[in-house]
Structure 1
């Protein structure tokens, strides 16, 4: 049970869809299968053959980013396929508890009432607008529709930590690849298949920062942090700060260790971002692949992928003597 709670994505461990692990697993299994089948059928109707449609549906719903082709989604050269995959990535990047609520008979309003979902969509929309405007200004693509399609797909793919590509973002203005790489730190929502810190943690860190600013103005006032209509206990906020600190520590130590192996600082930064957030694509010497990395750096990046996928604390707790005594 301790490992189960440590591995759960997100800080709100008491917000379960079902009271028991077995029933929760069955619910998630049903939602996951339905989304996978729907994605495979949509890709098949859009022009993929059955093998590619099934393979990419697995990689899309899992936000894994693997493709059956070296050119990734760019192999198909289809704006329709790009849009379908981006939409299903957005769905998979949402909290699966919201999908469960919809299946339970509640209306679509349940999504917009969720503060984390609103921030998740807001981040995606803002990034799409920024990328579209910059690409249009630099005339990277020949038409406005192609610019919007490429921006929409690449933003969603990178920001949800999927890592699918339709074009080499290395040829984009440098500001955009770095922006999208950093967006992977936010990642998907808690209770999703995405990587990163999770939207809910970023939201709570922002709310706590805002509370501290108010306290500077009114030192004697009492402010509570609310998520929707619910006031959050300080224990959750402490857990968020603890996770953020551990995440930052792993990132900094890993980056310095990789630089120590002889990798340049920018490539070290990009490789750690790509692996710790389970993103995949990087920049610098790892823009295409990681074959140029030395063996020691690869071992460090392997550890980063485990830390990122298991939410850091799951691995750290195994090295805690208290865990084994209990």
Structure 2
């Protein structure tokens, strides 16, 4: 462990992040909403803090070890969540206490989309933009952005990338150099964002809403600039664009890179995770549609299909946008949607949840065990794309699932201990651990009415989900700190 090197990197990352505070400050000046002061103060506080961390250890340039990478990733997401809360605490509208501000900040950076704000429509434009920007920065992973920059400052980043990158196999790189990998991911990310913003604008959103919603759509974040979310626009075209880009953002970005490099979309349809991901979302959409029709919630089948598709993709990809209050639907449908968020998006995407590839591998492993009951002496190999999956990967997937389930149970019991009812507690933990956002019960619209203790527990759940359990929990093991 190299504390000086960790402190140096943390200082540099804080200084880089401080510059992002200036963008909403500019928005405040453009719209004259009076919010520039809080962002300039937040910029100064974050920059000075970064300098104080960096200056004493600026010449310590040792290579990072794997353990150092884990500490930097966890520290950075935690510290950044705290510094990101400063504008919320300094502003007059909204003016939040520490628990609310940190909750909103961590929710944005982890792309969860859970909010404590009840009246979003009346927020200043600068705050609205800041919330969307946090999700956009957190979507691809601020650590990956840092990996593209830090090598120019003399810091290697492979350990950071492996600690932050999602998915069951973390050693795969799109390009031979980690810097080029990070740049490739960001080129794809930025391209999708620009395309999404243009599509929104052409379909009727004003420029501010188009840019803001493109940020949270591609980040699979779910924050909106309106109380009614995407339902505010009441536009089939906008809903279709949103569904398309939620689907794209939920796909492994490695597939986007391969498709772009080969100038062919065939790589998508040959990928087993992509096919499983689309099948799950389609199946949930069909289930919800027939459920809505049987329950007579909609007289118009076309409107029922529209809302079923949108909500299924939004919840299934862990985005959290809404065109209808799904918590008011039949309890079976609302629960099915929440359960779908446990599967989540693909590994290597901006989505949350367990990830489609892990669920797919567990399904194949389950089938193998059933076949072994019939043929106990047979040698059966699990394959993906005609390649054998090592047993070590299968073990890691089941280990992840076990820890995920245990974490959920512990957090759920903790929420019940705060006095929360069963339905609200279950959905709140599911929504935050899966980085989904909206729940059912008392957290269907916002999280502003729950206790501060519950908010801190859910902040931990959001970080746990964003860092995919092991990255955070490994710091709580005695073995990690042994020399």
Name the TM tier (shorter chain): over 0.9
Assess if the C-alpha contact under 8 Å between 1:44 and 1:53 holds in 2: yes
Shift of 1:148: 1.2
Residue in structure 1 matched with residue 375 of structure 2 by the alignment: 218
Which of 18, 30, 34 is equivalent to 2:191?
A: 34
Contact 1:66–1:164 (CA under 8 A) maintained in structure 2: yes
- Quick check: 2:285–2:309 contact (8 Å CA) kept in 1? yes
1:41-60 equivalences under 5 Å are 41-60=198-217
Counterpart contact for 2:259–2:266, Cα < 8 Å: no
Match of 1:192 in 2: 349
Matched, 1:15 2:164: no
Tell me the distance in 2 between the aligned counterparts of 1:220 and 1:6: 39
Deviation at residue 137 of structure 1 after TM alignment: 2.4
In the alignment, the residues of structure 2 paired with residue 248 and residue 21 of structure 1 have an alpha-carbon distance, to the nearest angstrom, of 32
Q: How many residues align?
A: 326
Residue pair 1:6, 1:313 contacting (<8 A) in 2 also? no
1:206 matched to 2:206? The reply is no
Match of 1:180 among 321, 331, 337: 337
CA distance in 2, matches of 1:45, 1:39: 10
Which digits, 9 at most, give the CA deviation of each residue in 1:59-84, with x for residues without a partner?
Answer: 00000000011111111111111110
Do residues 114 (structure 1) and 290 (structure 2) align? Answer: no
Match status 1:279 vs 2:427: no
User: Is the CA contact (8 Å cut-off) linking 1:259 and 1:265 kept in structure 2?
Assistant: yes
CA RMSD of aligned residues (A): 1.3
Task: Report the CA distance between 1:296 and its aligned residue.
Answer: 1.3
1:20 Cα shift?
2.5
TM-score by length of structure 2 reads 0.66
Alpha carbons 2:196, 2:245 under 8 Å: kept: yes
CA distance, structure 2, for counterparts of residue 5 and residue 225 of structure 1: 25
| 1:7 and 1:313 in contact (8 A); partners too | no
Following TM superposition, by how much is the alpha carbon of 1:284 offset from its aligned partner in structure 2, in angstroms? Answer: 1.0
* 1: CA distance, partners of 2:479 / 2:178: 24
Gaps of 5+ in 1: none
Higher helix share: 2
Q: Which residue does the alignment assign to 2:327?
A: 170
1:117 is displaced (CA, Å) by 0.3
Q: Counterparts of 1:59-208 in structure 2 under 5 Å? A: 59-208=216-365
Structure 1 residue 325: deviation in Å? 4.6
Compared with structure 1, are the counterparts of its residues 316 and 160 closer, same or farther at alpha carbon in structure 2 (3 Å cutoff)? Answer: same
- In structure 2, list runs of 5 or more residues that go unmatched: 1-64, 71-160
Give yes or no for the alignment of 1:295 onto 2:482. no
- Give the 3-state SS of the residue equivalent to 1:185 in structure 2: helix
Distance 1:309 1:145 in 2: 36
- Residues 162 and 171, structure 2, Cα contact 8 Å, conserved in 1: no
Pair member with larger Rg: 2
1:255 and 2:412 correspond: yes
Residue-by-residue CA offset, 1:203-238 (whole Å, 9 max, x unaligned): 011111111111111111111111111101111111
